[in-house]
Chains A and B, each alone.
Chain A
């Protein structure tokens, strides 16, 4: 061996041996580390090739993007018949919202990003001004979507449907259930017996009942429980149920986060003379919420997908619209295309939430910055 000798304390930092770092090193270690591993790699590549070839063919190359009907589609090519989506995309997006008023939904949807930006990205420029807009946005969105004020045509909620309905239910449910969940989690940890008991009862009841039951209650029975004279639209009732349901789950997720905070944190805060609300705001919640991000987003994604359950009480969510399309004799039998399209919409929304939560976790990780 041609090992050089150095005086003690003078050994230099040497580069790692060749073939252990970089692209070549990665490929060698992960794909071709042994004979069996190399075989698996080759088999997987061949399988993937045939799979992707077939998928791309059906989805794009042999697909028909516009035609009169399913039969017309099949005459052109034998891939997917996306015409069912193309011809009915308006319904998929807006439900039966009047065509001439659909710009109101577009504006509400686009400005929603502006309203969420300062809440989701704390470092955004001019955050303070945007926050005013965020606070004002719910009223703005309500007026614009429902109409009936400022000369806007009033739209019946029964015309709502499609992705628009999903987004309305999902966003309202998510936005309302987080603060309620936080309060319930704090309530469950409270020293005040009444508050704690009420929180526990609420959480256990909401978690113990299927969401579908709650939706039926919302659609048929809630009016019996409310004081006479109050009459919410079914949309509001459904949003309340979604909020309660996921708030119970979020409360439990956050409780886990709160319990993961070391006792020393509270002792330090106590020793500094902080009171309960100061401790909660500056010590407990920032740390508990950070720990709970994956669980909270998990619940949000669940809630968002559960909005499809409203189809059982007669609201036309994307699946309902899809079913209506499939009932049309022209498109009979195109369920694969229809459901894949709806699935793609949900996947994109949920994947975005998931990526955001990863980004936020990384940003809040103060250990390795």
Chain B
């Protein structure tokens, strides 16, 4: 278990009775969730349960239709000014990396800091190199994403998000597209990030990671939060039948 000294009771994300529909399909139902600063939350659940959609609502890649989402004391509305503030505070790592293929690794990392945060180029490059060193690939800085392995690309994606110096990091199944031997290097990077006290919301099926890092594990099914508990109780003592079924399916093979 990674110790968590930075955890405080100051909420950085508050979701209140939030609903979302895709057309007529009710994909998120009455979601209420508070995340404190420094808290690490793992969200799991069967595919189609809405877990990715939930974290994509937090930086408004998906728009919710009812209820409130408040990130860093700013409410998410259609107002573009709010949106840019929130997005530069919230980093996101995708399942398919989504690196910019026409830019080098270094340019991937410096693009947003230079143009969104207006950082001088030299400073942005220094910061990027520092973070690339932290994810252990400084020597790849001048290569293009297409020349890297999947694990390396995902670590670059993590560094790219960190270059915006976010307060919150969202991970949308960061290891699902990786070959088995590369999953560990990405999880190790995420564990190191957790040790720095970053607020993290992670959608993943890596239950080992959840046991080691999470302060709280959420189980979602059919658009609802079914159960939320600390990892010890969540894994040893699940209360809901659907949680038990899910855990038995992913743990016993």
Q: Report A's interface with B, CB cutoff 8 A.
A: 262, 264-265, 267-275, 278, 282-283, 286-287, 290, 364, 366-369
Bound together, the chains give a CA A283 to CA B147 distance in angstroms of 19
Q: Are A270 and B61 in contact (CB under 8 A)?
A: yes
Q: Which of these, B98, B99, B116, B146, contacts A273 with CB under 8 Å?
A: B116
Q: Are B116 and A366 in contact (CB under 8 A)?
A: no
Q: Are A273 and B112 in contact (CB under 8 A)?
A: yes
Bound together, the chains give a CA A364 to CA B61 distance in angstroms of 30
Does B101 touch A at the CB level, under 8 Å? yes
Q: Are B102 and A272 in contact (CB under 8 A)?
A: no
The minimal Cβ–Cβ distance linking A213 to chain B, given in whole angstroms, is 39
List 17 contacting pairs A-B, 8 Å CB cutoff, sorted by A: A264-B94, A264-B96, A265-B98, A267-B94, A268-B98, A269-B100, A270-B59, A271-B91, A272-B87, A272-B88, A272-B164, A273-B88, A282-B111, A286-B102, A287-B102, A366-B147, A367-B144
Does B17 touch A at the CB level, under 8 Å? no
Q: Are B94 and A366 in contact (CB under 8 A)?
A: no
Query: What is the 8 Å Cβ interface bit string for chain B, positions 128-155, against chain A (1 contact, 0 not)?
Result: 0000000000000000111100000000
Does B90 touch A at the CB level, under 8 Å? yes
Q: Which of these, B101, B146, B161, contacts A287 with CB under 8 Å?
A: B101
Q: Are B94 and A270 in contact (CB under 8 A)?
A: no
Does B92 touch A at the CB level, under 8 Å? yes
The minimal Cβ–Cβ distance linking A264 to chain B, given in whole angstroms, is 4
The minimal Cβ–Cβ distance linking A143 to chain B, given in whole angstroms, is 38
Does B84 touch A at the CB level, under 8 Å? yes
The minimal Cβ–Cβ distance linking A137 to chain B, given in whole angstroms, is 28
Please give me the 3 A-B residue pairs with the lowest Cβ-Cβ distance, nearest first. Answer: A268-B98, A272-B112, A273-B88
Q: Are B116 and A271 in contact (CB under 8 A)?
A: no
Closest residue of chain B to A289 (Cβ to Cβ) is B102
Query: What is the 8 Å Cβ interface bit string for chain B, positions 141-184, against chain A (1 contact, 0 not)?
Result: 00011110000000001001100100000000000000000000
Bound together, the chains give a CA A5 to CA B90 distance in angstroms of 59
Q: Report B's interface with A, CB cutoff 8 A.
A: 59, 61, 80, 84, 87-88, 90-92, 94, 96, 98-103, 111-112, 115-116, 144-147, 157, 160-161, 164
The minimal Cβ–Cβ distance linking B76 to chain A, given in whole angstroms, is 13
Bound together, the chains give a CA A366 to CA B108 distance in angstroms of 13
The minimal Cβ–Cβ distance linking B112 to chain A, given in whole angstroms, is 4
Q: Which of these, A267, A270, A275, A366, contacts B102 with CB under 8 Å?
A: A366
Q: Which of these, A262, A268, A278, A369, contacts B144 with CB under 8 Å?
A: A369
Bound together, the chains give a CA A287 to CA B146 distance in angstroms of 14
Bound together, the chains give a CA A296 to CA B122 distance in angstroms of 36
| A-B contacts, CB under 8 A, total | 74
The minimal Cβ–Cβ distance linking A260 to chain B, given in whole angstroms, is 12
Q: Are A369 and B147 in contact (CB under 8 A)?
A: yes
Q: Are B98 and A264 in contact (CB under 8 A)?
A: yes
Chain B residues contacting A369 (CB-CB under 8 Å) are 144, 147
Q: Which of these, A268, A273, A364, A367, contacts B94 with CB under 8 Å?
A: A268
Bound together, the chains give a CA A129 to CA B59 distance in angstroms of 43
Question: Do A271 and B87 contact each other (CB < 8 Å), given the known contacts A282-B111, A366-B146, A367-B146?
Answer: yes
The minimal Cβ–Cβ distance linking A193 to chain B, given in whole angstroms, is 17
Bound together, the chains give a CA A61 to CA B98 distance in angstroms of 61
Besides A262-B96, A283-B100, A367-B146, 13 other CB < 8 A contacts?
A264-B94, A268-B99, A271-B61, A271-B87, A272-B88, A272-B111, A272-B116, A273-B116, A274-B115, A282-B103, A287-B100, A366-B102, A366-B146
Closest residue of chain A to B163 (Cβ to Cβ) is A272
Chain B residues contacting A269 (CB-CB under 8 Å) are 100
The minimal Cβ–Cβ distance linking B30 to chain A, given in whole angstroms, is 26
The minimal Cβ–Cβ distance linking B41 to chain A, given in whole angstroms, is 18
Q: Which of these, A267, A282, A287, contacts B98 with CB under 8 Å?
A: A267
The minimal Cβ–Cβ distance linking A362 to chain B, given in whole angstroms, is 14
Bound together, the chains give a CA A267 to CA B56 distance in angstroms of 10
Bound together, the chains give a CA A268 to CA B115 distance in angstroms of 15
Q: Are B102 and A271 in contact (CB under 8 A)?
A: no
Closest residue of chain A to B59 (Cβ to Cβ) is A271
Chain B residues contacting A364 (CB-CB under 8 Å) are 102
Closest residue of chain B to A368 (Cβ to Cβ) is B146
Bound together, the chains give a CA A233 to CA B202 distance in angstroms of 65
Closest residue of chain A to B146 (Cβ to Cβ) is A367
Chain A residues contacting B88 (CB-CB under 8 Å) are 272-273
The minimal Cβ–Cβ distance linking A15 to chain B, given in whole angstroms, is 28
Chain A residues contacting B100 (CB-CB under 8 Å) are 265, 268-269, 282-283, 287
Bound together, the chains give a CA A368 to CA B144 distance in angstroms of 9
The minimal Cβ–Cβ distance linking A221 to chain B, given in whole angstroms, is 44
The minimal Cβ–Cβ distance linking A286 to chain B, given in whole angstroms, is 5
Bound together, the chains give a CA A275 to CA B115 distance in angstroms of 10
Bound together, the chains give a CA A21 to CA B195 distance in angstroms of 55
Bound together, the chains give a CA A364 to CA B101 distance in angstroms of 10
Chain B residues contacting A368 (CB-CB under 8 Å) are 146
Closest residue of chain B to A281 (Cβ to Cβ) is B115
Chain B residues contacting A265 (CB-CB under 8 Å) are 98, 100
Bound together, the chains give a CA A31 to CA B100 distance in angstroms of 43
Bound together, the chains give a CA A265 to CA B108 distance in angstroms of 12
Q: Are A271 and B90 in contact (CB under 8 A)?
A: yes
The minimal Cβ–Cβ distance linking B177 to chain A, given in whole angstroms, is 11
Bound together, the chains give a CA A286 to CA B103 distance in angstroms of 10
Chain B residues contacting A270 (CB-CB under 8 Å) are 59, 61, 87
Chain A residues contacting B96 (CB-CB under 8 Å) are 262, 264
The minimal Cβ–Cβ distance linking A363 to chain B, given in whole angstroms, is 12
Closest residue of chain A to B91 (Cβ to Cβ) is A271
Identify the interface centre among A264, A275, A287, A366: most chain B CB within 10 Å of its CB.
A366
Chain B residues contacting A366 (CB-CB under 8 Å) are 101-102, 144-147
